[in-house]
Amino acid sequence: MGLNYYQIKKNILRARKLVIKGTNIAGSGHPGGSFSMAEILGCLFKNHLKFDPTNPMWEDRDRLVLSKGHAAPGLFSNMAVAGYFPDSEIETLRKFGSKLQGHPDLKCPGVEFCGGSLGTGLSYSIGIALAAKINSQNHHVFTIIGDGESDEGQVWEAAMTAAKYKVDNLTAFLDRNFIQQDSYTEKIMPLDEKLEGDDITEMWKDASRWKTGDKWRSFGWNVIEIAGHRVEQIDAAIKKAKATKGVPTMIISRTVKGKSVEHMEDNPQWHGKAPDSDIVPIINHELDSQFMIAPSIIAGDMTNLENEIKRCVSGRSNFIHLDVMDGQFVPNKTFDHTKIKELRPLTIIPFDTHLMINDPVKHVENYIDAGSDIMTVHAEVTDESSFGEIHDMLKQNQVSVGLAINPDTELPEWSYKFLDSLDQLIVMSVVPGKSGQKYIEETHAKMARLNSILKQHNFSGYVEADGGINLENIGSVFADGARVFVGGGAIIGQHDVKTAIKDFRDEVLKSRRHCLLDKANDLGGVDLVNKWIGLHVIGEKQEQLKKIAQEIGYL
């Protein structure tokens, strides 16, 4: 079974947009803490929680306790995505008589805990977990606590209690975003080490400063430490936690407050603050502009692909792109499912398998079994019937579904019926099967045509650009609409993969900032451009935006 990666990503995006909508209409709320736990909730609701939105009090349901209750918009948005109530109900957030209050309330069916006073959720969760054990019930209890609320002594009393009574049916997440209401956690009551200055990234960069895990281990907990915005790490940690017997598990998730909106990220101002209405469309555009980097390992040492995988891991790639060539559909031959199966144990990073082979419908099952998380087949060797079979097989196995088109291929009309459920569209910008080719410039015009078709048919997936992508063109390819970028020689062909990926990200970030400034100018001219720039108060973002705006001619 695959990770269901793209479906989780789509749900997370939808939930984040609902948080922005709800807090904006309410004029208050907490987007920062809702966004720091967005991936945790997205992964829980899609892959792990047992629940029935039509029967919220189902006895065998898993229990989800949001102890950091001020982040209620994040919980409510995910409940809407999961089907507990329509998306439109988020518009009633914090209104009198609404079941969606500023903190979770039992008046909302599906909410397990009234998260008002901070520090109490873990104690409550232990009670639920103990009751389940006493009653021989098999449900699991998941709890999300904040690092700010960890200042409360009750959290640590609960920590001792859970270990004493061996509540192994309890998994807690610490949303370790380093910010609480008044300031940075390490300035108020350090869980790791005291922070000097305001550069919160220092707490991320230096693992020797991470002391929180040792605290929880000393209280007798099984501790797993992860990057809390990496879906695959969250998923793997939950699986490990549920398999651990005899002790409760704490998953320390290093996160970013306000993640995915630059001016909110690592900014204490956005602990509890609603976005203005004129800013909301720009924020939504930014949320739609999240991107991923997928190195293609065949551009490296084909005799030692294991090492190329390790280089991708150390380089912090989002995906690992696996080009499968059969020597028939394309002239070259690479590897097949047997090699992918050998490589799979080396990492949990999603495998983005690109099948450049004839008759893919005959082979898809092998690549599912090998451990692919995303699988893409070519339009040139499928038709409506065979792609429909592939589509259904992948969805049933929680593998994300992709369709690829060559440079001289337009999107076939038979594919339109699949676009609303398609997860990925690969637009080839070189002739597949030949290395070292330059990006085909006509692809820019092709992307413009595709964008119209995709919008018309409610495509909510990701466009992946594959072929000849480098630092010189990646910004313009992003502006065309691509959100996943395959890098062969420009990444794997480099000595330092980590730096190459960082350089890719920096170039896309520049292009994204340019696009967002364009959006601000279109909506409100120079005044809105200046307002947008003025929101970016952390680090050097404001100066970087000013420079781009000056180059465009807005300032």
Q: How many domains, the chain?
A: 3
Q: Confidence class of residue 177 from pLDDT cuts 50, 70 and 90?
A: very high
- Which backbone phi and psi does 413 adopt, to 5 degrees? -60, -30
Residues 34 and 127 in one domain: yes
pLDDT, the chain, mean: 96
> In the chain, what's the furthest Cα-to-Cα distance?
68
Residues 198 and 93 in one domain: yes
* Interatomic CA distance for residues 333 and 335, integer angstroms: 7
Tell me the average pLDDT across 171-182: 94
Q: Confidence class of residue 265 from pLDDT cuts 50, 70 and 90?
A: very high
pLDDT at 219: 97
Tell me the average pLDDT across 178-204: 84
Residues 147 and 273 in one domain: yes
pLDDT at 198 over 90: no
* Interatomic CA distance for residues 411 and 454, integer angstroms: 10
pLDDT at 314 over 80: yes
Pairing mode, strands 320-325 and 374-378: unpaired
Identify the CATH number of the domain in which residue 267 sits. Answer: 3.40.50.970
pLDDT at 199 over 90: no
pLDDT at 441: 97
The tens digit of pLDDT for each residue in 315-338 reads 999 999 999 999 999 999 999 999
Closest CA to 376 of 349, 356, 398: 356
pLDDT at 465 over 80: yes
Tokens of 85: 């109530």
Residues 514 and 474 in one domain: no
Percent of the chain past pLDDT 90, that is, above it, reads: 93
Residues 436 and 456 in one domain: yes
* Interatomic CA distance for residues 353 and 319, integer angstroms: 10
The tens digit of pLDDT for each residue in 489-515 reads 999 999 999 999 999 999 999 999 999
User: Which positions ≥6 away from 290 have C-beta within 8 Å?
Assistant: 13, 260, 483
Percent of the chain past pLDDT 70, that is, above it, reads: 100
Cβ–Cβ < 8 Å for 415, 404: no
pLDDT at 424: 98
Residue spans of beta strands (DSSP E) within 153-297: 170-176, 222-227, 249-254, 292-295
**Domain boundaries, position 243:** 5-287
Tokens of 503: 């350089």
* Interatomic CA distance for residues 474 and 463, integer angstroms: 13
The tens digit of pLDDT for each residue in 422-438 reads 999 999 999 998 777 89
pLDDT at 172 over 80: yes
Residue keyed to tokens 């019937």 = 385
pLDDT at 267: 93
**Burial zone of 59 (CB within 10 Å; 0-12 exposed, 13-18 middle, 19+ buried):** exposed
pLDDT at 461: 97
Closest CA to 335 of 312, 378, 306: 306
Residues 217 and 360 in one domain: no
Residues 276 and 263 in one domain: yes
Tokens of 539: 């680090």
User: Which positions ≥6 away from 522 have C-beta within 8 Å?
Assistant: none
Residue keyed to tokens 């065309």 = 480
Of 265, 287, 309, which one is at a domain's C-terminal end?
A: 287
Cβ–Cβ < 8 Å for 16, 87: no
Residues 328 and 444 in one domain: yes
Residues 270 and 408 in one domain: no
pLDDT at 474 over 90: yes
- Which backbone phi and psi does 115 adopt, to 5 degrees? -90, 75
Tell me the average pLDDT across 523-551: 97
Of 494, 525, 544, which one is at a domain's C-terminal end?
A: 494
Tokens of 32: 């920062």
Residues 434 and 504 in one domain: no
**pTM to 2 decimals?**
0.97
**Burial zone of 264 (CB within 10 Å; 0-12 exposed, 13-18 middle, 19+ buried):** buried
The tens digit of pLDDT for each residue in 137-150 reads 999 999 999 999 99
* Interatomic CA distance for residues 181 and 184, integer angstroms: 8
Q: Taking phi first (over 0 means left), then psi (-120 to 50 degrees means alpha), and beta for anything else, what does residue 20 get?
A: alpha
Of 287, 310, 330, which one is at a domain's C-terminal end?
A: 287
pLDDT at 233 over 80: yes
* Interatomic CA distance for residues 257 and 251, integer angstroms: 17
Identify the CATH number of the domain in which residue 483 sits. Answer: 3.20.20.70
Residues 174 and 71 in one domain: yes
Residues 381 and 366 in one domain: yes
Tokens of 15: 């939930």
Tell me the average pLDDT across 83-104: 97
The tens digit of pLDDT for each residue in 339-365 reads 999 999 999 999 999 999 999 999 999
pLDDT at 187 over 90: no
pLDDT at 215: 96
